Each structure stands twice: as structure tokens, then as C-alpha cells.
């Protein structure tokens, strides 16, 4: 009996001949196959998930650690929210500030009008 059974999934390093069956994986393959597009080349050692006996790549990751983490956890790795700071809370955007100022100005409009009338 062979230890390489048809359908067994395994991880291996990216080869130039790898091809994908779906668009998303094909885009990721294209991105990881061109080292000049990588922002951190020392962290990128592309890994693909292949199913034995079946052509095409099932998944592509930046490195083996990233692949294992994404396979073992159900949730995807979330990006850090740039607008959130633990000490300050949620940072207001330009639009939020404008909206807040309009609300404040509308609330204090009567007071401002009475001051103008007195002058």
C-alpha cells in the first residue's frame, strides 16, 4: 500500500510550474511568483496546498506558518483597524468631525443669534 494516497492534502514550496483552478488562487499565485512585488522578501517563502493525484493548487500562502495558522483557525487573520487606539478609543475621521461640528453649531445657533441681536 502506498503512503501517497489519492486525495491526500499536503503543503509544499511554490514551483514555477504550479497552476490554479480558480481565479482567486491564480491571482495569489501570480502575486507570490514575482519577488519584485513583495514588500518584505525575507518573510515570503510561498507555500501551496496540493491534493495528491489531482492537478492544480488548492491554496497559496505567504509562508508555512501563515498557511498552518489559517488552516487550523476558522476565522481569517484580521487587519489592524488603523482608526482604533486602545487608550483614546475610536479616532474621528474628517467627515465625523464635520458632522459633529454641524450638530454643535445647530444646537448653539439660537444662542449665537441672541448675542448678535444684543450688539
Return the bridge partners of 11, or none: 49
Let me know if 90 is exposed, middle or buried by CB neighbors in 10 A (0-12, 13-18, 19+): exposed
Grouping H, G, I as helix, E, B as strand and the rest as coil, residue 10 is strand
The cell for 13 is 514550496
Q: Which helix (H) or strand (E) holds 23?
A: helix 23-32
- Coil, strand, or helix at residue 81? coil
Beta carbons of 16 and 22 less than 8 angstroms apart? no
Domain boundary assignment for the chain: 9-72, 84-118
What's CA 63's distance to the chain center, in Å? 15
pLDDT in tens, the chain (119 residues): 466 677 888 999 988 889 998 899 999 888 888 877 777 777 788 899 998 888 889 989 988 888 888 888 766 566 666 666 666 666 667 777 788 888 888 888 877 777 777 77
Amino acid at each position: 500500500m502506498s503512503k501517497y494516497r489519492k486525495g491526500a492534502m499536503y503543503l509544499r514550496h511554490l514551483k514555477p510550474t504550479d497552476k490554479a483552478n480558480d481565479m482567486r488562487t491564480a491571482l495569489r499565485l501570480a502575486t507570490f511568483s514575482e519577488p519584485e512585488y513583495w514588500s518584505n522578501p525575507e518573510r515570503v517563502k510561498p507555500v501551496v496546498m496540493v491534493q495528491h493525484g489531482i492537478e492544480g493548487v488548492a491554496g497559496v500562502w505567504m509562508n508555512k506558518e501563515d498557511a498552518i495558522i489559517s488552516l487550523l483557525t476558522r476565522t481569517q487573520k484580521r487587519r489592524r483597524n488603523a482608526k482604533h487606539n486602545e487608550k483614546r478609543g475610536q479616532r474621528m475621521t474628517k467627515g465625523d468631525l464635520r458632522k459633529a461640528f454641524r450638530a454643535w453649531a445647530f444646537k448653539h445657533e439660537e444662542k449665537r443669534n441672541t448675542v448678535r441681536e444684543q450688539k
